[in-house]
Amino acid sequence: MNQMVNSTSIKTRLLLVIVAALVGMLAVSTFALMSEKSTMLDDRKVKTRHLVEAAYGVLVHYYDLQKTGALSEEAAKDAAIKDIKAMRYGQNDYFWLNDFTAPIPRMVMHPTVSALDGKILDSEKFNCATSLQAGLDGTVEKTDGKKNLFVAFNEVANKAGSGFVTYNWPKPKAGGGTTDELYSKLSYVKKFDGWNWLIGSGIYIDDVESIFWQRATWLITIVLFVAVLIGSLMLVLTRSITAISERLGKSNAELEEANQRLQKLDQMKSDFLSSVSHELRTPLTSIRGFSQLIDREFTRSFAPLAEEDAGLQKKSVRIQENLKIILKESERLTRLINDVLDLAKIEAGHTNWHDAPLQAAVLIKDAAGAAHGMFEQKPAIELRLEIEEGLPLFIGDADRMQQVLVNLINNAVKFTDQGMVTVKVFLNPEAQIQIEVRDSGIGFPQEEAEAIFDKFQQAKQGDTLQDRPKGTGLGLAICREIVNRHGGRIWAQSQPGKGSVFSLILPPAAESLVKTVEITARIAAFADGERTAAGAISGKVGKPKVLVVDDDLAVCNYFSQLLQEQGYEVITAPDGQAALVAARSHQPDLITMDLSMPVMDGRTAISLLRADTELKRIPIMVISAIPGWEAAGGDVAMSKPLDETRFVENIHLLLNDAAASGAAEPKKVHFLVLYQEGQPPAMVPGGFAAYCEVGFCPVNELSARIQAGFQGMVAIPADLLNQVDIGFINATPSLEVMIMPVPAMGVAASLIQVTQHPQETKQGEHL
Amino acid sequence: MTEIAKIAIVDDEVHIRALLEQTLEDLDGEPEILTAANGAEGLALIERERPQLVFLDVMMPLMNGYEVCAAVRSNPDLAATTIVMLTAKGQEADRTRGLETGAHHFVTKPFDPDEILDLAREILQAS
């Protein structure tokens, strides 16, 4: 169906092209013919003039002979007349001579109408319409009345010595004599002063036209021939193109079918992998769990019994060792299953990527923190970070990029026994973010540098795997998939015994995103301004109280310790319900909230806290192991494992907010997001939560809000920009307006800062 | 905590049930451990016995773990029951779905028996 439509449309298009080409050719040839016609006439005019000049030379020649006395005047004139009478050119063209006598000239010689020779040319039949051009450049003067054409010749010759005259004259007949009817003729005449004669010659315009038409016929024939040729070629081409496109359509359909089959297979592969993974996990759980239980019970109850007998003790140690092997191997199998599933998911495109603007430096610090345990096990290795300042952001999934970096660092540690692991980030000459993980380990031959990124490939030494494989053999394949998905590239360089370098490059984020981050900073600065103004009034007394909500006792203790070091008073609650009770009784300045908890989860607790008029002002920091950006209704979201520095920074930030809230003035930037009524708001200021109190407002209510005294920031999605009456905002003298483009969450928007001057507000009161 | 704690194990795999049972025997106060081999049986058990803690497998015949979890959560009498889901996948989407249906914790198979023990201790202490 589809390819039929395609081939018909190709045919129509080709036919259109053919028609257009023919029309074009016709237009071009018509234009060429028109210009050819006028050039032909011009050419003939020039030729005639040259011929007249030549015949004039004959007159001069005999006149000179007369002057030298070689010929008498009579003889010279006769010779000249005889010579000129004999001169013919073209189809019907000749020269004539007439006397220059006034007022009416007398014919000296006319080669085709000899009856006129010696006659005064005063016959009325010579009165006709003429057009005169004196000289070569003289203007053309037309006489439509009855003018004696020989008088007209005289006029032209008198003015400039020579010139062109158009008039009507009979044509000479083939057998002698002249035709009865008159033809339009263009003649050139020139005055010869020696004998006071006028010599002239002309061309019949229809002669020129007939030549023109002869040529035109030729041209048209050729054009038509070429057109027919091209047309038929095009038709042949159309046929073959149609055939080709039909064939293409067919193979397209086949490809489509093959693609669908492949997709089905892919789906089957994914389903297969996920069910295999499930089926493998259950027996693995038993193997791992029971070997652990056996180990525990054996160590607890049986090993002490064996202590008395040396032989039994040896056996008991062996049993324990063997159990450890089962445990280790089941752990390895688990990792392998996880990696296979992970890679299959990425390859099948089933991964949910949580893209956000990221700082390479932060990621590297986080990854180094996560790999900390590895370095503790190998104290002979030192970790060094070389981080360039002021690198651009890039867009990516923080958890996935973290996975890549942790994997690279782990690999480096795995294959290094002593020395240094260096993680470096810098902007390379191509302005891309480049991260290098360098180690001083065993390295591998450079020929294997590509293959190690393939599945189940680890660098070999000789033909045997050196030692036993340390890992699942999928880590680097996963890394490559992740880096590729971020539009980057990963590669390795190494030499056996000289260590290796794993490098990856990532394209920096687009300018617009950098803008978003700038905007966040601007909003923060705006909020800071208000805060310091308000903070000055509200000097708060006593230690700030923080309520830590987490079901994990260890986490609670850890947070409490961190916060107490910062000089905060800490209360803890193990679940959402306990948190609500504690919040009411202690009125904390800040709450940190875990999301998944028994009795009442964090999400529910936050919505209940926000619904409570007394408690809704307490800032909430969500700390969750659940990946993703969402704050679940809190002000700031942080993920586990926790970055201590950022945790403390955010706590400070949120507490400053809260300190300002003691004053009557608002502590956050009021942030209005405009939307079209009936449509959901296009922009959600995700990263702005710490600074903004976000409200949503239909676009047509903006004026009312501003008149009601709204101050703060207005975010306008780009598609609404035209509908916002910025003119109105400007027209009010009391308002300071700043407009800035904001791309937020992928939607280009504008940010308007609305500030009201106090004195102008007074003016408003007058109104 | 004067009364004896009750823990329910809902899993269609007999070995997993055995493993969990043996693991939980180490808990102080010798809690009563109840088992069910499918979702429907599990829900009936939970409604009848009102355990403080339920270990709930996701993929089971008759009624899957999400359905059991949602049914338990919609029953206000069972508000004090903490649900720990045993997921074979450990995938993000499954976690989100589990959280939405009201599970409190997730343990990915294969799990570490010590992890299960710690979790159970903590939950029983909190209630």
Interhelix angle B113-126/A205-297, rounded to 10 degrees, is 80
* Span A44-71, average pLDDT: 89
pLDDT value for A467 = 47
Closest CA to B57 of B88, B82, B34: B88
Which residue type is seen at B122? E
Give the N- to C-terminal CA distance of chain A in Å, as an integer. Answer: 70
The string of pLDDT tens digits covering residues A392-446 is: 888 888 888 988 999 999 889 988 888 899 999 999 998 899 999 999 988 888 8
Closest CA to A444 of A475, A412, A422, A419: A412
Q: Which of B59, B112, B127 sits opposite A278 (nearest CB)?
A: B59
pLDDT value for A480 = 93
* Span A445-463, average pLDDT: 73
The dihedral over CA atoms of B73, B78, B81, B82, expressed in degrees to the nearest 10, equals 10
CB contact under 8 A, B123 and A598: yes
Task: Using a CB–CB cutoff of 8 Å, tell me whether A575 touches chain B.
Answer: yes
Helix, strand or coil for residue A602?
A: helix
DSSP summary character for residue B31 = -
Beta strands in A458-549 (DSSP E): 489-494, 500-506, 545-549
Half-sphere exposure (Cβ direction) of A310: Cα atoms closer than 13 Å? 0
pLDDT value for A436 = 94
How many beta-carbon contacts under 8 Å exist across A and B? 88
Half-sphere exposure (Cβ direction) of A612: Cα atoms closer than 13 Å? 16
- Using the predicted structure, report yes or no on whether residue A30 has a pLDDT greater than 60: yes
Closest CA to A470 of A336, A320, A273: A336
Distance in Å, alpha carbon of A277 to nearest chain B alpha carbon = 8
pLDDT value for A594 = 85
Report in angstroms the alpha-carbon separations of A333 from A143, A302, A462.
114, 29, 26
DSSP summary character for residue A469 = -
pLDDT value for A538 = 36
With contacts defined as CB-CB under 8 Å, which chain B residues touch A289?
Answer: 16, 19, 23, 110-111, 113
With contacts defined as CB-CB under 8 Å, which chain A residues touch B99?
Answer: 595-596, 601, 603, 626
Distance in Å, alpha carbon of A599 to nearest chain B alpha carbon = 6
pLDDT value for A137 = 78
pLDDT value for B54 = 94
CB contact under 8 A, A290 and B123: no
Interhelix angle A398-414/A360-370, rounded to 10 degrees, is 50
Report in angstroms the alpha-carbon separations of A500 from A332, A474, A490.
25, 18, 13
Q: Tokens 């926000």 — which residue?
A: A610
Cβ neighbourhood burial of A704 (10 Å; 0-12, 13-18, 19+): exposed
* Span A648-672, average pLDDT: 58
- Using the predicted structure, report yes or no on whether residue A249 has a pLDDT greater than 60: yes
Prior bond of A103 cis (ω within 30°): yes
pLDDT value for A95 = 92
For residues A367 and A437, give the distance between their C-alpha atoms in angstroms, rounded to a whole number. Answer: 12
For residues A429 and A532, give the distance between their C-alpha atoms in angstroms, rounded to a whole number. Answer: 42
The dihedral over CA atoms of A695, A699, A700, A703, expressed in degrees to the nearest 10, equals 60
For residues A377 and A412, give the distance between their C-alpha atoms in angstroms, rounded to a whole number. Answer: 13
Backbone torsions φ then ψ of B112, nearest 5 degrees:
-95, 120
pLDDT value for A492 = 93
CB contact under 8 A, B122 and A284: no
| Chain centroid offset of residue A471 CA | 42
- Residue with the larger pLDDT of the pair A137 and B93: A137
pLDDT-derived band at A621 (thresholds 50, 70, 90) equals: confident
Q: Which of B92, B104, B113 sits opposite A597 (nearest CB)?
A: B104
Task: Name the residue of chain A whose CA is nearest to B16's CA.
Answer: A286
% of chain A residues with pLDDT over 90 = 9
Give the β-pairing of A747-756 and A735-744: antiparallel
* Span A172-182, average pLDDT: 80
pLDDT-derived band at B52 (thresholds 50, 70, 90) equals: very high
- Cβ atoms of A172 and A163 within 8 Å: the answer is no
CB contact under 8 A, B113 and A289: yes
Q: Tokens 């920009």 — which residue?
A: A721
Q: Count of CB atoms within 10 A of residue B123's CB? A: 23
Give the β-pairing of B82-87 and B53-57: parallel
Backbone torsions φ then ψ of A706, nearest 5 degrees:
-70, -40
pLDDT-derived band at A667 (thresholds 50, 70, 90) equals: low
Q: Count of CB atoms within 10 A of residue A679's CB? A: 12
Q: If you average pLDDT over each of A337-341, A392-396, B15-19, which comes out highest? A: B15-19
With contacts defined as CB-CB under 8 Å, which chain A residues touch B90?
Answer: 338
Lowest-confidence pick of A175-179, A328-332, A562-566, A721-725:
A721-725
Sequence-distant (6+) residues with CB within 8 A of A165 are: A130, A131, A132, A133, A149, A152, A153, A156, A186, A187, A189
- Provide the token pair at A570: 């800490």
* Span A206-231, average pLDDT: 84
CATH architecture assigned to B6-126: 3-Layer(aba) Sandwich (3.40)
- Using the predicted structure, report yes or no on whether residue A625 has a pLDDT greater than 70: no
- Provide the token pair at A86: 């004999």
pLDDT-derived band at A3 (thresholds 50, 70, 90) equals: very low
- Residue with the larger pLDDT of the pair A628 and A393: A393
- Cβ atoms of A155 and A143 within 8 Å: the answer is no
- Using the predicted structure, report yes or no on whether residue A332 has a pLDDT greater than 50: yes
- Provide the token pair at B122: 């903590």
Mean pLDDT of chain A: 78
pLDDT value for A525 = 63
- Provide the token pair at A219: 């041209």
With contacts defined as CB-CB under 8 Å, which chain B residues touch A595?
Answer: 99
Q: Which of A278, A330, A352 sits opposite B89 (nearest CB)?
A: A278
- Cβ atoms of A51 and A90 within 8 Å: the answer is no
Task: Using a CB–CB cutoff of 8 Å, tell me whether A13 touches chain B.
Answer: no
- Cβ atoms of A416 and A372 within 8 Å: the answer is no
pLDDT-derived band at A483 (thresholds 50, 70, 90) equals: very high
Helix, strand or coil for residue A330?
A: helix
CB contact under 8 A, A287 and B16: no
With contacts defined as CB-CB under 8 Å, which chain A residues touch B13?
Answer: 282, 286
Mutate to test the interface with A, among B9, B11, B15 (most CBs of A within 10 A): B15
Give the β-pairing of A712-717 and A692-698: unpaired
Q: Tokens 């990621």 — which residue?
A: A363
Sequence-distant (6+) residues with CB within 8 A of A653 are: A636, A690
Task: Using a CB–CB cutoff of 8 Å, tell me whether A332 touches chain B.
Answer: no
pLDDT-derived band at A514 (thresholds 50, 70, 90) equals: low
Which residue type is seen at B107? V
pLDDT value for A599 = 81
Task: Name the residue of chain A whose CA is nearest to B118's CA.
Answer: A552
- Residue with the larger pLDDT of the pair A33 and A120: A120
For residues A80 and A204, give the distance between their C-alpha atoms in angstroms, rounded to a whole number. Answer: 25
CB contact under 8 A, A599 and B19: no
For residues B109 and B127, give the distance between their C-alpha atoms in angstroms, rounded to a whole number. Answer: 25
* Span A503-515, average pLDDT: 76
pLDDT value for B46 = 94
Task: Using a CB–CB cutoff of 8 Å, tell me whether A276 touches chain B.
Answer: no
Lowest-confidence pick of A214-228, A655-669, B113-127:
A655-669
CB pairs under 8 A, 24+ apart, for A232-238?
A234/A14, A234/A17, A234/A18, A234/A21, A235/A18, A237/A14, A238/A10, A238/A11, A238/A14, A238/A15
* Span A621-630, average pLDDT: 63
- Provide the token pair at A356: 């956000």
- Cβ atoms of A674 and A716 within 8 Å: the answer is yes
- Using the predicted structure, report yes or no on whether residue A636 has a pLDDT greater than 90: no
CB contact under 8 A, A334 and B59: no
pLDDT-derived band at A458 (thresholds 50, 70, 90) equals: low
For residues A583 and A618, give the distance between their C-alpha atoms in angstroms, rounded to a whole number. Answer: 9
Helix, strand or coil for residue A485?
A: helix
Q: Count of CB atoms within 10 A of residue A52's CB? A: 20
pLDDT value for B43 = 93
pLDDT value for A666 = 39
Give the β-pairing of A178-192 and A88-89: unpaired
Lowest-confidence pick of A259-268, A382-391, A627-636:
A627-636
* Span A249-263, average pLDDT: 89
CB contact under 8 A, B92 and A282: no
Q: Which of B19, B104, B126 sits opposite A289 (nearest CB)?
A: B19
pLDDT-derived band at A267 (thresholds 50, 70, 90) equals: confident
Sequence-distant (6+) residues with CB within 8 A of A713 are: A523, A526, A669, A670, A671, A672, A692, A751, A752, A753, A754
Task: Using a CB–CB cutoff of 8 Å, tell me whether A301 touches chain B.
Answer: no
- Provide the token pair at A663: 């004053």
Lowest-confidence pick of A75-84, A122-131, A249-258, A301-310:
A122-131
Question: What domains can you pick out in chain A, each with its CATH number?
Answer: 43-205 (3.30.450.20), 355-509 (3.30.565.10), 539-662 (3.40.50.2300), 663-767 (3.40.190)
With contacts defined as CB-CB under 8 Å, which chain B residues touch A599?
Answer: 79-80, 82, 104, 126-127
pLDDT value for B32 = 92
Sequence-distant (6+) residues with CB within 8 A of B20 are: B9, B11, B55, B116
CB contact under 8 A, A330 and B110: yes
pLDDT value for A624 = 72
pLDDT-derived band at A738 (thresholds 50, 70, 90) equals: very low
* Span A239-265, average pLDDT: 87
Backbone torsions φ then ψ of B17, nearest 5 degrees:
-60, -45
CB contact under 8 A, B126 and A551: yes
Report in angstroms the alpha-carbon separations of A307 from A293, A304, A324, B15.
20, 5, 20, 32
pLDDT value for B47 = 93
- Using the predicted structure, report yes or no on whether residue A657 has a pLDDT greater than 50: no
Helix, strand or coil for residue A241?
A: helix
CB contact under 8 A, A286 and B19: yes
For residues A658 and A534, give the distance between their C-alpha atoms in angstroms, rounded to a whole number. Answer: 11
- Using the predicted structure, report yes or no on whether residue B62 has a pLDDT greater than 50: yes
Task: Name the residue of chain B whose CA is nearest to A576's CA.
Answer: B104
Report in angstroms the alpha-carbon separations of A620 from A46, A560, A580, A696.
101, 16, 12, 21
- Residue with the larger pLDDT of the pair A513 and A312: A312
- Residue with the larger pLDDT of the pair A354 and A501: A501
* Span A104-125, average pLDDT: 85
Q: Count of CB atoms within 10 A of residue A379's CB? A: 8
CB contact under 8 A, B126 and A274: no
Q: What is the ipTM of this complex?
A: 0.74
- Using the predicted structure, report yes or no on whether residue A741 has a pLDDT greater than 60: no
pLDDT value for A170 = 85
- Cβ atoms of B122 and A550 within 8 Å: the answer is no
Lowest-confidence pick of A337-351, A718-732, A740-754:
A740-754
Backbone torsions φ then ψ of A612, nearest 5 degrees:
-90, 120
With contacts defined as CB-CB under 8 Å, which chain B residues touch A552?
Answer: 122
